[in-house]
Amino acid sequence: MSQGKYKIESDGTMYVKKKMAATYHGFDTLTPEQEAWFPCMDIDGDSFFIRTLLGGWFGLHKFMTGHYLQGIIYTLTFGVFGISYLFDLLYIITGYYTDDRYTYEGRVGTTITRHKHRRYSRPVSNRMYSVIALVIAGIITYMAVRYGYLILMSRLFVVFNLAGNSGGI
């Protein structure tokens, strides 16, 4: 079954058609873009969006895709201060969220080649509600970062002001 940008194989695997530029040693070349079919993630697009919306501050979507180091960074920094969290939500809505996996071939002492396997997120069924949720998440992120920063600065001011009056630390 093929419906333009997405196709589903007989085994149930969904693929998405994306444009890609030719690269030479990691650099994009000036050759015309080509289209290729990339596999989609196994998880449904709506449930992945909801899980990212609710748990993205703490890196839930990164842990789900197996990127544990990024998940720990998201957990410690609250979604990299909300900025990467919002970008991930936007990428999921537009269908550009990727899960890159690498495999290696070769033996020790010989040439080892690295292969990149890219999977895209499945489409979100209702983009209008997803965009509304993204705007609300952006407002909450802005308020959390702004007021969290103000609270942190006021606490630091009190600590250093008291330290300055008592002769220092």
Helix (H) or strand (E) holding 151: helix 127-165
Q: Residue 29: what pLDDT?
A: 63
Report yes or no: 98 and 118 within 8 Å, Cβ to Cβ.
Answer: yes
Tell me the CA distances in angstroms from 23 to 76, 113, 157, 160, one per residue in order.
Answer: 35, 16, 51, 53
- Which string of b and e fits 127-155 if b means at least 16 CB within 10 Å? eeebeebbeebeeebeeeeeeeeeeeeee
Task: Give the pTM.
Answer: 0.75
Q: What is the pLDDT of residue 22?
A: 66
Higher pLDDT, 157 or 3: 157
pLDDT at 86 over 90: yes
